[in-house]
A and B are shown apart, each in its own frame.
Chain A
Amino acid sequence: MFAEKTYVRTFLILSSGLVLVFMVNLMLGSVHIPFSQVVKSLTGTEIENQSWQYIVKNYRLPKAITAVIVGSGLGLSGLLMQTLFRNPLAGPFVLGISSGASLGVAFLIMGAGLIGGLASDVLTSNWSLVIASSLGSFLVLLAVMVVSVRVRDTMAILIIGLMFASLTAAVVSVLSYFATAEELQQFIFWGFGSLGNLAWKEISVLLIFYILGCILCLVSIKALNSFLLGENYSRSMGLNLKKSRIIIILATSILAGSITAFAGPIAFIGLAIPHLARQLFNTSAHAILFPAILLIGAIIMLICDSIAQLPFTDYSLPINAITSIFGAPLVIWLLVRKRKMIF
């Protein structure tokens, strides 16, 4: 009668789409590797060209998996924030996660000159960026949360998050002003985001956080659905508002925080993917949106990455530019076509 609409077909199409773009992503790059050879190197069969196998296993596969995690994880955290704040403009970073990360990284790259103690090879190491980014996110998030528990209105949390973002941006500006051109460039490059810097060890760490975030998101589905009616209704239906709010914010922080730490502040995806999923499935029921966003997020991110690496050339574009160039028209097109925003 209702709620039994078959989404099966769309899910099947999306799943096969994901497999397809995943394989295409592995094939494309500065060197073109034929499909059959990609499959062989994945399954571990010996292939003629040893370097192809090396490229697929140690470079392209980790990058593709990172793209899947980043796209789906940011999509999910965007959904969590949009529903929690009942605001279609909310995204994974409204609580100050990316501004915190940029503050941490800015201090690492540009503040080091001020202190003058750190060796330059420590700076360029991946892990120090990850740690600086996580630390910054964590501290800013903590500050936002400490202030937020004093307000009862969920909307106020949104504003507080934005205020902290402005604050950190101001500090970053001051740091940038005193930074050298080289430091500035390094910081700007970090801001472009990057999917390709992760080795297997880093991916496994990211994966743990990703799975944890997904589980928290999964247990919040019921609460998220009731938030669609508003907080008073949620409470009248027996929901523990405070607890659900904390779990939702925690899930977002874990997902968006870990992704930003490893891949930089990837823009736009977290905002756009939930809208794409809602338009495509014509629903705001979270049990449907959850798997839908995992699939769509992964697909879009893989496509963006394939474009960004400019196949058959030695150049690659910043991933952040591609997500917006590619994503914004897509969202606009969907909104215009359906004429009604589903939110």
Chain B
Amino acid sequence: MESFKPNIAMQVKDLTIGYRKKSEDNEIGTDINFQLWQGELIALVGPNGIGKSTLLRTLCDIQTRLNGSIEVGGRDIGTYSALELAQLISVVLTDPPATRALSVGEIVTLGRQPYTNWIGKLTEQDKSHIENAIETTEISNLVNRKAFELSDGQLQKVMIARALAQDTDIIILDEPTTHLDMHHKAHILSLLRSLARNSGKTILFSTHEIDLGIELCDKLIVMGSENTEINTADGHILNGNFDALFPSDLIEFDSSRRLFRIKK
């Protein structure tokens, strides 16, 4: 066993993800290895259906892994109780809230559930975490609105605020920029970057905005059919990982301008 370094937020070793079936396991990704460091903003990119959501769900223990280890705080996440894990990792999923009748304040308050007592009474500390989360995400003007009154961009910010209120070292987001316009995409991603910079949180999110990811993130995890690699944007460009990401007949990666473009 390698000894744990205090500034590694998450260590993934020989991870196999997929679905357990009776006859044989349906493996979606194998031999996944990476480390996430404290205060990093990491984008998880890859083509549709490659298993980004499966990987993210596995990392926060919503889905069981098939093999390998996922360590947080020096221990495998399987050794934590659900409640303990909820104080280490928070998530923003693609699932919309089951009901949209909740107010923004109520949704953010739910983030404190791992800390509150049996009936959910808020302490002063809980309240200050909630207020912080609301201020950081700049949604104080929405607090009394119902979720059904919000635009997609606003709702996404509220869900991020809820994750912030949960006060975890790691935040995992599944496609936080889907359905958003250019401005809101950039806004959400720069919000995530400043969160990672200012609060030392480790933020991992999946996205199809590879260009924005290259510009804004400390590292990217590129998930391909052959292998999964974590590196800085420059590292990936050097290794030609982006070139291999999509079939080359339609789009190509322009490494000098660091973005994808359509072949003419």
A residues with CB within 8 A of B: 1-3, 86, 218-219, 221-222, 225-230, 232-233, 235-240, 278, 283-285, 287, 340, 342-343
Contact = CB atoms under 8 A, between A and B. Distances in A.
A310 B166 CA distance: 56
B62 A236 contact: yes
A225 B120 contact: yes
Given A230-B98, A278-B101, A343-B101, A237 B86 contact: yes
A236 B106 contact: no
Nearest to A234: B113
Contact of A1 (B57, B96, B120, B131): B131
Interface string B61-99: 110000000000000000001111111011101011111
Size class of the B contact interface (CB-based, 8 Å): 35 or more
Contacts of A3: 105-106, 109, 122
Contacts of B95: 230, 232-233
Interface in B123-178: 131, 143-144, 148, 166
Contacts of B144: 2
- Which of A218, A230, A237, A285 has most chain B Cβ within 10 Å? A237
B90 A229 contact: no
A229 B105 contact: no
B110 A343 contact: no
A226 to B, nearest CB: 6
A238 B105 contact: no
Contacts of B104: 2
B98 A222 contact: no
Given A237-B90, A343-B99, 19 more contacts: A2-B143, A2-B144, A3-B122, A86-B99, A218-B119, A221-B119, A221-B120, A222-B113, A222-B119, A225-B120, A226-B110, A230-B95, A233-B91, A237-B111, A239-B113, A284-B99, A287-B119, A340-B148, A343-B101
Nearest to B106: A285
Interface SS of chain A: helix, strand, loop or mixed?
Answer: loop
Interface of B: 57, 60-62, 81-87, 89-91, 93, 95-99, 101-107, 109-111, 113-114, 116, 118-120, 122, 131, 143-144, 148, 166
B108 to A, nearest CB: 8
A2 to B, nearest CB: 3
A236 B91 contact: yes
A237 B109 contact: no
B97 A229 contact: yes
Contacts of A240: 82
A237 B102 contact: no
Interface SS of chain B: helix, strand, loop or mixed?
Answer: loop
B113 A237 contact: yes
Nearest to A227: B98
A237 B83 CA distance: 7
A278 B103 CA distance: 13
Contact of A2 (B98, B105, B116): B105
Given A222-B116, A222-B119, A238-B86, A2 B110 contact: no
Contacts of B62: 232, 235-236
7 contacts: A3-B105, A86-B98, A226-B110, A228-B97, A237-B90, A287-B119, A287-B120
Contact of B93 (A86, A227, A232): A232
A237 B81 CA distance: 11
Contacts of B166: 237
A229 B114 CA distance: 15
Given A232-B62, A238-B114, A284 B102 contact: yes
A33 B34 CA distance: 80
A225 B109 CA distance: 10
Contact of A238 (B82, B99, B106, B131): B82
Contact of A225 (B83, B110, B143): B110
A227 B85 CA distance: 18
Contacts of B106: 2-3, 225, 283-285
A243 to B, nearest CB: 10
